[in-house]
Structures are given as structure tokens and as C-alpha cells.
Structure 1
Amino acid sequence: MNPELHQFIADYGLWAVLGGTFLEGESVVVFAGFLAHQGLFHLPHVMLCAFAGSFLADQLLFYLGRRYRDHRYVRRIREKPAFDRALAAIDRYPDGFILALRFLYGLRTVGPVALGVSRVSPLRYLVLNAIAAAIWAACFSLLGYVFGRTIEALLGRLHGVETKLAVAAAIGVLIWLAYRLSARRRR
């Protein structure tokens, strides 16, 4: 691997994981887990950054819903069809909804705002959000790590990290596309 690229990834890659999980999530963490398998990151550092980004993003969205219920951004989220479904699920299973939120497609932004608008206490949300973020970060980081092992087992020892990254990115894009298509069909 190009020494400058390797150093750049080593210096700024975990910041990208933190920012990526703050904005999106799963694909960033899986890819970072893969890079941990390749020795570019330490797996516990990937998990910690994934936890922090995901936790902080959802806490921020929760407080936006709680504090700025009538702000146009929150109103726009409240107008989405998923918002009413999220509120109904929160009323029936508040703890389960908080713990499962990260694993439910289409509720990543709507869910925490709906929780902020609901009667769930901030302390209860903080604790359950931390637990859920830790589980989520560990699952997807390990998925990427194991994914790296699987690629090597299937394709043999690939030469060069660039080749491994290209194969992982291609497979990741295919998985992401399949996931999006199946989610679109369910709707």
C-alpha cells in the first residue's frame, strides 16, 4: 500500500468512522471493521468511534425533538409517514423501541426525534441509547472484521491492501444495493 495513503488512513480514518456513524452508520462501521481486520485500525477503537458517533447523533436528535418540537426541521420530520408508526411503537414498547431503533430501516432520524417528542424521560433514553449504541457498534464492527476473514478465506491471501479494499468495497456496494432494493419492495 502507498505509505502516504496508509498514514492518511491511520491518522484520519477513525475520525471518518466517528463522522460517518454520526451521519449514516452501518456501511461505515462494517468497512472500518474490515480495515481493522487488515491491520489499519484496532478493532476496539473502531467500536468506540462507532459507539460515540451513533450515540451522540441519536442524543442530539432526541434533544432536538424534545426542545424544538415546533422548529421547521422537527416539523418536517414529524410529517413523515414513519413518524406516526414510530410514536405508536414507542407507546406500546418504549424500551424495546429504543434498543431496536438502530436496527430498524428508515427510522434512523425519525426515531430519536419521535422519542424526544414522546413522554420517554431523558435519563431513560440516555441509558437505553448507550446500551443500544454499544450493541450496534460491536455487531457491525465485528461483522466487518469477520467479513475480512471471509474474503481472505474465499479468495485466498490477496496481494496488496488496495486489492482487498476494492473487493470489499464492491461487495459492500452490492450488499447495500440489495438491502435498499429489499427495503423498497417492503414499502
Structure 2
Amino acid sequence: MNPALHQFIVDYGLWAVLAGTFLEGESVVVLAGFLAHQRLLHLPDVMLCAFAGSFAADQLLFYLGRRYRDRRYVRRIREQPAFGKALALVDRYPHSFILALRFLYGLRTVGPVALGVSRVSPLRFLVLNAIAAAIWAVCFSALGYAFGQTIESMLGRLHGVETKLGAAAAIGAAIWLAYHLYARRRK
């Protein structure tokens, strides 16, 4: 591996996980788990950063929904079709919804805002959000690590992390595309 790229990943990889999970999510954590398998990042640190970014993002969105429910940003989110669906699920299954939120396609951003607008107490959301973020971070980090093991066994003859990372990215892109096509067809 290029020594400069290796050092860049070692120096800034965890910051990228923290920022990536704050903004996006699953693919960043899976990639970080893969890099942990390649011994470029430490898996428990990846899990901790994934937890922190995801937890902080959802807390922020919850409080935006709670504090600014009548402002333009929140009103725009409330106008999305997924918002009504999220609010109905919150009213029906508040605890389950908070715990499953990270795993529900299309509700990742609107879900915490819907929870903020709902009657769910901030303390209840904080506790359940922490539990859900921990489960999510461990699951997706471990998935990336296991994915790295699978790539390693399938492509073990290929040398260099760049080659394996490229192959992993191609396989990941194919899985992502298949998932999104499936999700679109279900709608």
C-alpha cells in the first residue's frame, strides 16, 4: 500500500468515521470495519466513533424537531411523505420505533425529527437512542469486518489493500444498487 495513503487512513480514518456517521451512516461504518480488518483502524475505535456520530446526529435532529417545529427547516421535513409514516409509527410503537430507526430505509433523517415533534420525552429518547446507536455501531462495524474477512478469503491472492478495497467497493456497490432497486420496486 502507498505509505502516504496508509498514514492518511491511520491519522484521519476515525475522524472520517465520526463525520461520516454524523452525515450518512451504514456504508461509512462498513468500510471502516473493512479497514479495521486490514489493520488500518482499530475495530473498537471504529465502533466507538460510529456510535458517537450516529448518536449525536439523531440527538441533534430530535432537538431540532422539538425546538424548531414551526420553523422552515422542520416544516420542510414535515412535508416529506415519509414524515407522516414516521409519525404514525412513533404514535403506535414509540420504543420500538426509536430502537429500529437506524435500520428503517427512508426514515433515517425524518425519524428523529418526527420523534422531536411527538410526545416522546427527551430523556426516553436519549436512553433509547444510546442503546440503538450502540447496537447499530457494533452490527455495521462487525459486518464490515466480516466482509473484510470474506474479501480476504476470496481475493487473498491479490496483493495490496488498494486492490482488495477496489474489489470490496465494487461488490459493495453492486449490493447497494440491488438493495435500492429492491426498495424502489417495493414502493
Amino acid in structure 2 at the alignment position of 1:139: C
Q: Which residue of 1 aligns with 2:41?
A: 41
Give the superposition deviation at 1:107: 0.2
Amino acid in structure 1 at the alignment position of 2:35: L
Gaps of 5+ in 2: none
Q: Which residue of 2 aligns with 1:29?
A: 29
Amino acid in structure 2 at the alignment position of 1:107: L
Amino acid in structure 1 at the alignment position of 2:184: R
In 1, Cα distance between equivalents of 2:27 and 2:157? 23
In 1, Cα distance between equivalents of 2:157 and 2:106? 37
Q: Which residue of 2 aligns with 1:81?
A: 81
Residue 126 of structure 2 corresponds to residue 126 of structure 1? yes
Q: Which residue of 2 aligns with 1:65?
A: 65
In 2, Cα distance between equivalents of 1:44 and 1:180? 29
Amino acid in structure 2 at the alignment position of 1:173: A
Residue 175 of structure 2 corresponds to residue 180 of structure 1? no
Amino acid in structure 2 at the alignment position of 1:171: I
Amino acid in structure 2 at the alignment position of 1:125: F
In 2, Cα distance between equivalents of 1:138 and 1:157? 29
Runs (4+) off by over 6 Å: none
In 1, Cα distance between equivalents of 2:139 and 2:70? 36
Q: What is the number of equivalent residue pairs in this alignment?
A: 187
Amino acid in structure 1 at the alignment position of 2:151: I
Give the superposition deviation at 1:155: 2.3
Equivalent runs, 1:88-167 vs 2, <5 Å: 88-167=88-167
In 2, Cα distance between equivalents of 1:158 and 1:130? 40
In 2, Cα distance between equivalents of 1:157 and 1:18? 32
In 2, Cα distance between equivalents of 1:167 and 1:46? 21
Amino acid in structure 2 at the alignment position of 1:164: K
Q: Which moved more, 1:47-56 or 1:152-161?
A: 152-161
Give the superposition deviation at 1:157: 4.0
Identity of aligned residues (%): 84
Amino acid in structure 1 at the alignment position of 2:147: F
Q: Which residue of 1 aligns with 2:16?
A: 16
In 1, Cα distance between equivalents of 2:42 and 2:87? 38
With structure 1 as the length reference, what TM-score do the two structures score? 0.98
**SS at structure 1 position matched to 2:74:** helix
Gaps of 5+ in 1: none
Give the superposition deviation at 1:23: 0.7
In 2, Cα distance between equivalents of 1:148 and 1:97? 31
* Residues 41 and 130 of structure 1: CA distance in aligned 2, closer, same or farther (over 3 Å): same
**SS at structure 2 position matched to 1:185:** helix
